[in-house]
Amino acid sequence: MHEEGDLGYLRWFADNMWLFVPVQGQLKKFFVTIPQFPFPEGAGLSAGGINYNTLKVMKPMNMLNGRDQHQGATVLGHRTMRGEKLHTGGHPLKPYWWLTAIIIVFGLLGMIPGTVRAEDGEDKLGNWIGATSALRFSDKWSLFLQGELRTWEMASNLNELLWRVGGHYDFSKKYMGAFGYVRVDTWPYDDDQFRMFYENRAYQEFLIKTKWGKTKVNHRFRLEQRWITSDENGTEYSNRARYMLGFTHPLNSDTIAAGTNFLRVFNEIFVDFDKGDYWFDLEGDKGLNQNRLYIGGGRQLTDLSSFQLGLLWQHRPKADFLRLVLGYSYNFDLR
């Protein structure tokens, strides 16, 4: 793990951040000239993740945006060909701008893994790929299930496997309580044959759901009791608390329903109650355990299913990680 004095590219990035705004103007002038000339397949534009394929994808996305603006300007009442009214707030709706932004951001992030030290797992852009499901048995009770695969690198180099089962109880539309069990198996970087340790975890949580205009605002408080075991060193016990503040904002409607595109942002802080000098040496001292910041977009596919794609920054006292998160949710109403 790198120390503060050995940040390499990241230190250079911070020192030269003031240059990026004027440089962006010059890059823009250069990029707009590229589609005017033919280019060979596979030729890299660099830096890292920006390439000709990215520019090719942007072109049809811009065409789609232009098509929607044309329809909104020529069809009476700003209605689509199917007669569905668009919630534009008086402005032409551009439903594809968020997808274009995600493509550009992930293309720029491609420069990070290619320029830092390749031997450090924390310097890789990895994946969290997960699925969740809630089985509702009554107006009050539901069962929550989760499975998640986490990798050190993009779709390779196994890091963690997480499984969760929990019971949810709705006190009202605004307040919810939950309890459950989590199993996490962890592998070190670049060694998926040797499991470093595994964790059995019990948790209890309380969720407050509010709204700010069209935006859903969630506060989640969680307590965890953790038993972390190594085949060589036995079991250590730890207590941890977590608080998450999350926002979900619909982009093409007033509420989140089937067919809604949405933006999701959350920040979650983790705090240890114990000293923290464990043999596995991951979490740091008593106090801040880690912080997670997530920014992404998604689509409500049906009333019971959704898909999300976003970027997670995970900060720990001795390391920072970037993870591309893909999530799918499908719920069952058994009432």
Half-sphere exposure of 83 (CA within 13 A, CB side): 0
Q: Residue range 188-214: average pLDDT?
A: 89
265 and 294 in contact (C-beta within 8 Å)? yes
- The pLDDT assigned to 262 comes to 96
Per-chain mean pLDDT for the chain: 75
> pLDDT by residue (tens digit) across 123-176?
788 999 999 999 999 999 999 999 999 999 988 888 999 999 999 999 999 999
Token pair belonging to 149: 């695969």
223 and 243 in contact (C-beta within 8 Å)? no
What three-state secondary structure class fits 256? coil
126 and 151 in contact (C-beta within 8 Å)? yes
- The pLDDT assigned to 92 comes to 42
Q: Residue range 95-115: average pLDDT?
A: 49
Q: Residue range 62-76: average pLDDT?
A: 48
What is the percentage of the chain residues whose pLDDT exceeds 90? Answer: 46
| Residue 287: how many other CB atoms lie within 10 Å | 11
Domains and CATH numbers, the chain: 8-111 (no CATH), 123-333 (2.40.160)
Calculate the CA 82 to chain-centre distance: 33
- The pLDDT assigned to 316 comes to 80
**143-147 — which CB contacts under 8 Å span 24+ positions?**
143/167, 143/168, 144/168, 144/178, 144/180
